[in-house]
């Protein structure tokens, strides 16, 4: 699929068939996702990929029993055969920006705290977002459905259960699978406005 077509077809899919996805395809999509921008060439983004029955651990920690029992969308989302967890390392960026070629930024290690407080914009979240977007587009181009779910609860417990080393943050999760055609459309908003709707400003706001 051509890039422009993938961009225009991409949407969040929240209801999946339980059919497994080819493992080699998943690996290729993840490899492509790691080719996005990385501030300072830090490469402080990683994935933990859950497949099949292993995806249950994500839902256990990242959601509540009350939500799972009451949500119309949960059954369709929980059938996604792949849940890819987007992780980023603030420490890696702080250390990188303390190296000689970046120390003038003032974003390196600090005598107070962990050094992240000096960052007006946390680059680690930006890099994670770029990687996620590439994965979403890659899934669309491959004829699959995907959705991004943010990090709202259970981060510490989930990462501990998965053996993730200290210092890594969960940015969110990407569900990947075959759409089953039973998705619930968003009730709150329609499609994002186009450039003719006042969201792109030229020369000044």
pLDDT at 191 (0 to 100): 65
pLDDT at 200 (0 to 100): 84
pLDDT in 10s for each residue of the chain, 205 residues: 788 999 999 999 999 999 999 999 999 999 999 999 999 999 999 999 999 999 999 999 999 999 999 999 999 999 999 999 999 999 999 999 999 999 999 999 987 789 999 999 999 999 999 999 999 999 999 999 999 999 999 999 999 999 999 999 999 999 999 999 998 766 666 666 666 677 888 899 8
Between the CA of residue 175 and those of 61, 82, 172, 193, what are the distances in Å? 16, 6, 10, 25
In sequence order, which residues have a C-beta less than 8 Å from that of residue 13 and are 6 or more positions away?
Answer: 145, 146, 147, 175, 177, 179, 183
Query: Strand pairing partners for 16?
Result: 179
Q: What SS3 state is found at 55?
A: helix
Run of H or E including 170: strand 169-177
pTM value is 0.92
Which is it for strands 45-51 and 82-88: parallel, antiparallel or unpaired? antiparallel
pLDDT at 192 (0 to 100): 65
- From the CA atom positions of the chain, what is the Rg in Å? 19
CATH of domain 3-91+122-179: 3.40.109.10
Q: What SS3 state is found at 161?
A: helix
Query: Strand pairing partners for 136?
Result: none
pLDDT at 189 (0 to 100): 61
Which ranges of the chain does DSSP label H, i.e. alpha helix? 3-9, 23-33, 56-62, 65-70, 74-78, 90-96, 123-141, 155-161
Cβ pair 168, 88 in contact under 8 A:
yes
Sign of the CA dihedral 171, 162, 75, 62?
negative
Domain limits, the chain: 3-91+122-179
Q: What SS3 state is found at 56?
A: helix
DSSP calls for 93-108 = HHHHTTSTTTGGGS-S
């Amino acid at each position: 699929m051509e890039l422009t077509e993938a961009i225009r077809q991409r949407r969040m899919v929240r209801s999946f068939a339980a059919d497994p996805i080819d493992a080699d395809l998943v690996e290729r999509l993840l490899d492509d996702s790691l080719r996005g921008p990385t501030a300072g060439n830090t490469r402080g983004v990683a994935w933990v990929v859950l497949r099949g029955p292993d995806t249950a651990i994500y839902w256990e920690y990242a959601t509540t029993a009350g939500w799972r029992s009451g949500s119309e969308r949960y059954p369709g989302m929980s059938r996604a055969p792949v849940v890819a967890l987007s992780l980023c390392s603030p420490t890696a960026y702080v250390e990188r920006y303390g190296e000689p070629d970046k120390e003038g930024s003032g974003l390196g290690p600090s005598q107070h705290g962990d050094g992240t407080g000096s960052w007006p914009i946390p680059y680690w979240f930006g890099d994670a977002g770029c990687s996620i977007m590439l994965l979403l587009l890659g899934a669309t181009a491959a004829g699959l459905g995907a959705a991004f779910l943010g990090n709202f609860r259970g981060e510490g417990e989930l990462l501990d259960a998965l053996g993730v080393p200290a210092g890594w943050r969960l940015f969110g999760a990407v569900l990947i699978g075959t759409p089953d055609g039973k998705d619930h459309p968003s009730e709150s908003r329609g499609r994002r406005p186009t450039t003719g709707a006042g969201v792109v400003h030229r020369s000044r706001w």
